[in-house]
Chains A and B, each alone.
Chain A
Amino acid sequence: MDGSSRSLASPLIALVGNPNCGKTALFNLLTGSRQKVANYAGVTVERKEGSLLTPSGRRVRILDLPGAYSLDPLTPDEQVTADVLLGRRAGETQPDFVVCVTDATNLRQNLRLVLSLKRLGLPMVVALNMSDIARRKGLTIDAERLAKELAVPVVETVGVKAGGVSKLVGILDAIAPAAPPPQRVWQTPTGADIEYDHDEVRRILGAVGGDRTDGTTRSDRIDAVVLHPIVGPLILAVVLFLVFQAVFAWAQWPMDAIKAGVDALGAWLGAFMPDSLLKGLLIDGVLAGVGSVLVFLPQIVILFFFILILEDSGYLPRAAFLLDRVMGSVGLSGRAFIPLLSSFACAIPGIMATRTIQNPRDRLATIMIAPLMTCSARLPVFALIISAFIPQRRLWAGFQLQGLVLFALYIIGVLSAMAVAFVLKRRGVGARFQSLMLELPAYHWPNLRGLLIGLWQRVEIFLTRVGTIILALMVILWALSSFPAPPPGATGPAIQYSIAGHLGAALAVLFAPIGFNWQISIALVPGLAAREVAVGALGTVYALSATGEHVSDALMPLIAHSWSLPTALSLLAWYVFAPQCLSTLATVKRETNSWRYPLIMAAYMFALAYGASFVTYRIALLF
C-alpha cells in the first residue's frame, strides 16, 4: 500500500487479540450497531467492520480481525489476521493503527502477541480489557508501568460496560498522521525466541504486578462439575435437550403465527383484487415467497439465542471438548453437534450455526450432511404416506408399526449422514494429525448487548442474503406452475398444462423406474419450494378442493387406492435423501460463498435419493 491511498480523514484501525480476550465485546461497544458483516474474499472467515465517530467529529473505521494466538498462522482465521497486518491480503488495506486487545486476567498468554506486534512496528495501543474482572480478582496491574515496559501506550477498558472504552476512544481521536508504513517483514520465531519472549513476559508481569497463576479459580470449580466424567455428560444432555426442544417446540407458535398472518393477508388481498395475473403473482408468488422466508426466522433466532449465550458464557467450547471424540469417530468436530441437532428441526438454522466450527473442512462436512438429518418439514410427507399405507398394527411391547417406520426413517437419515461424513473424511488430504488446541476460556456471564447485536446480525444476513435468493426462487416456481394457463375447456388440474406440469411429465419417464407416477412427478416440481409443499402440490395435482390442513385428510384415501405399496415406500425413501428444499441450497450458497457446494450437495443427495428409491421399489416389488 502506498501513502496516497491512505485517508487520514478516516483512518483504519484494526482490533487484534487472542481468541476469548473480549475483543468482540469491545468492538460492539466501540461501533454499536454500525457494523458490516461480510466474508474475506475467497474464504469463509467472517469480516467485521464498523465505524466510530470520535468526540472531535472524526470518522474512524474499525476492523475486528479474527482472534489469533500468533502471527504464524495455524488456522484460516489466523491467516487472515496475519495477512491483513502484514499488508499482503489482496483487497484489504493495511491498517493505520492497531489496538491490541488483551485479557487483563490472562496477560501471561496475551502479552506474547503484543511483543510480536511491537516487533512488526505498526503504531499501536494496548487495551487492558476486562480490567474490571481483574480488579475483582484482586489483580492490580500498573498500567503506566506496563506502558513504560512495553514502550507503547496502555489503556484500561471494560468491553461490557457503557463508557468502558472512553480512554481508548480518546487515543483513537488523537492518532497522528503517520508516515507511509515501511515494508513489514515477519520472521517465524525459533524455539529460543519463544522462550525469550516468555521470559520477557514474565519479567514485565513481575514488574507490573500481573503475574499470578492463581490456584483454584471460580472457573476451575465450575469445570470440576462440568467436565466431571459422570455429571458433565448429564449436564451436556440437559443443555442439548433444552436447545433441541426450544428450536423444535418453542418456535412452533411464532411460525404458525407467521403462516397464519401471511395467509390472512393473502385472503384479504384476494378479496379486494379482481382475478388477474398480477393477483396470482402477488399472492401465490411474492406473498407466499415472503412467507416462506419469514417462517424460518423463529428457529434461527431461538437457535442463535442459545448458541450465542453458550459461546459467550464459555460452555460451548466445553461441550465441543466433551463431544470431540464421539463426533471425531465419524470425522466431525465436537462443535458439529449443535448444528446437526438443530437440523432435525430445520437444516437452515443448523447450517447457519456451523459458523461456530473454526476448521473449514469440518465446517464444510457438517454443512454437507446437515440436510440428511430428518427435518420437521418432512414430517407432513412422512405422516401422509405412513398413515395411508402402513397398517396401524400393535407390535410387541406396545410399539406401533407406524411409529417404528417413522423412527426407522430418522435412523436411516442419521446413519447415511455418518456414512457421508466418513467418506468426506477419507477424501480429506493429510488429515492424520488434525490439531485441536482448543482454549477453554474462563466462564463469564453473557453480555446482553453482544447477544442482541449477534442476533440482529444473523437475522439481517438471513433476510438480505438468503431471503432474497429464496424469494426469487419462489416466484420462479410460481411462474413455472402457472404458465401457460390451461386451454379453454381443459378438464385436468391447471398445473398439468403449465411448464411445471410438462416438466413433471418429462420427469415421470425418469422416475418410472423408481415407481413414481406422473402425479407424483409433477408434485415434486413445486415441492422443491419446501418439502411439506409437496403435500399441497399433490392435492393440486389430484384436483382436490380441500385446502390447508384438510388436504392431507382428503388425499389419504385417494393415494391409498391409486398408489401401490412399493411406490409409497419408494417415495418415503426419496424424501429421506432428496434435496427437496431450495431454501437449504440457498443457505449453503450463502454460507460457503459459492455455488459449487450447493450444486455438489444437490447432486449427491439426488443420487442417493434415486438410488435408495430404486432399491426400495425393486425390493418391495418382489413381495
Chain B
Amino acid sequence: MQKNPDPIGLAELPNGMLARVVSVLPSNAAVPAEIARRLAELGFLPGELVRIVGRGLLSREPIAVRVGTGTFALRLFEANCIRVRPETTHSP
C-alpha cells in the first residue's frame, strides 16, 4: 500500500480516475450552505467513490461526476465543495 495522497478539490481530479470523498463543505464563505447540503443529499458523502466521466464543451466546467448509481453535472464551485482523495489501488 502506497501512502495516501493529499485530498484535492473534485474539479482537479483527472477524468476517469476513481477517488473517495473526504469532506463536503462550502468551498468558500460566499457559497450558500444549501449547496453543500444538497450535494450530500445527492449522495456526495464521505467514503463514497466518485469518478469524472465528462466535461462541458470547450471548458473545464461543468463536470459530469459519477457517484453511487447516479451521474450529476456540477459547476466548478459546486465540485470544489467536495474534497476527494484519489484511489491509489486499482478500481474494485
Q: How many residues of B contact A (CB 8 A)?
A: 38
What residue of chain A has the Cβ atom nearest to residue B60's Cβ? A325
Q: How far is the CA of A534 from the CA of B19 in the complex (A)?
A: 62
State which residues 15-70 of B face A: CB under 8 Å: 30-32, 34-35, 37-43, 45-46, 49, 53-59, 61-62, 64, 66, 68-70
Cβ of A398 under 8 Å from chain B: no
Contacts of A322 in B (CB 8 A): 56-57
> CB distance A220 to B53 under 8 Å?
yes
Q: How far is the CA of A84 from the CA of B74 in the complex (A)?
A: 28
Q: How many residues of A contact B (CB 8 A)?
A: 49
Q: Mark A184-224, 1 if CB is under 8 A from B, else 0.
A: 00001101001100100000000000001111000110011
What residue of chain A has the Cβ atom nearest to residue B16's Cβ? A224
Q: Mark A43-75, 1 if CB is under 8 A from B, else 0.
A: 000000000000000000000000001101010
> CB distance B78 to A227 under 8 Å?
no
Q: How far is the CA of A74 from the CA of B35 in the complex (A)?
A: 9
> CB distance A440 to B71 under 8 Å?
yes
Neighbour of A112 across the interface among B32, B41, B61, B73, CB < 8 A = B41
Cβ of A105 under 8 Å from chain B: yes
Q: How far is the CA of A105 from the CA of B69 in the complex (A)?
A: 8
State which residues 278-317 of A face B: CB under 8 Å: 317
A-B residue pair count with CB separations less than 8 angstroms: 128
Q: How far is the CA of A326 from the CA of B57 in the complex (A)?
A: 7
Cβ of B89 under 8 Å from chain A: no
> CB distance B91 to A215 under 8 Å?
yes
> CB distance A321 to B73 under 8 Å?
yes
What residue of chain A has the Cβ atom nearest to residue B24's Cβ? A191
> CB distance A437 to B55 under 8 Å?
no
**B32, B71, B77 — which one has the most chain A CB atoms within 10 A of its CB?**
B71
Cβ of A106 under 8 Å from chain B: yes
Contacts of B49 in A (CB 8 A): 213
A227-B64, A326-B58 known; A191 and B37 CB under 8 Å? yes
Q: How far is the CA of A228 from the CA of B73 in the complex (A)?
A: 15
> CB distance A109 to B45 under 8 Å?
no
Neighbour of B43 across the interface among A105, A109, A219, CB < 8 A = A109
Contacts of B92 in A (CB 8 A): 215
Q: How far is the CA of A423 from the CA of B72 in the complex (A)?
A: 30
> CB distance A437 to B68 under 8 Å?
no
> CB distance A325 to B73 under 8 Å?
no
Q: How far is the CA of A199 from the CA of B70 in the complex (A)?
A: 17
The distance from the CB of B45 to the nearest CB of chain A, in whole angstroms, is 5
Q: How far is the CA of A433 from the CA of B56 in the complex (A)?
A: 18
> CB distance B57 to A214 under 8 Å?
no
What residue of chain B has the Cβ atom nearest to residue A103's Cβ? B69
Q: How far is the CA of A69 from the CA of B68 in the complex (A)?
A: 15
Can you give 19 A-B contacts (C-beta < 8 A)?
A: A70-B41, A72-B34, A106-B70, A109-B43, A189-B37, A191-B40, A194-B41, A213-B49, A227-B53, A317-B73, A321-B64, A322-B56, A324-B61, A325-B58, A326-B58, A334-B56, A432-B30, A433-B31, A436-B73
- Contacts from B to A (Cβ < 8 Å): 30-32, 34-35, 37-43, 45-46, 49, 53-59, 61-62, 64, 66, 68-75, 77-78, 91-92
Top 6 A-B residue pairs of the complex, sorted by shortest distance between their CB atoms: A227-B54, A438-B73, A325-B59, A440-B71, A321-B73, A325-B56
Q: A105-B69, A106-B70 are in contact. List 20 more A-B contacts (CB 8 A).
A: A72-B34, A74-B34, A108-B69, A109-B68, A215-B92, A223-B71, A228-B54, A233-B57, A320-B73, A323-B57, A324-B56, A324-B73, A324-B75, A325-B61, A326-B59, A433-B32, A437-B39, A437-B74, A437-B78, A439-B73
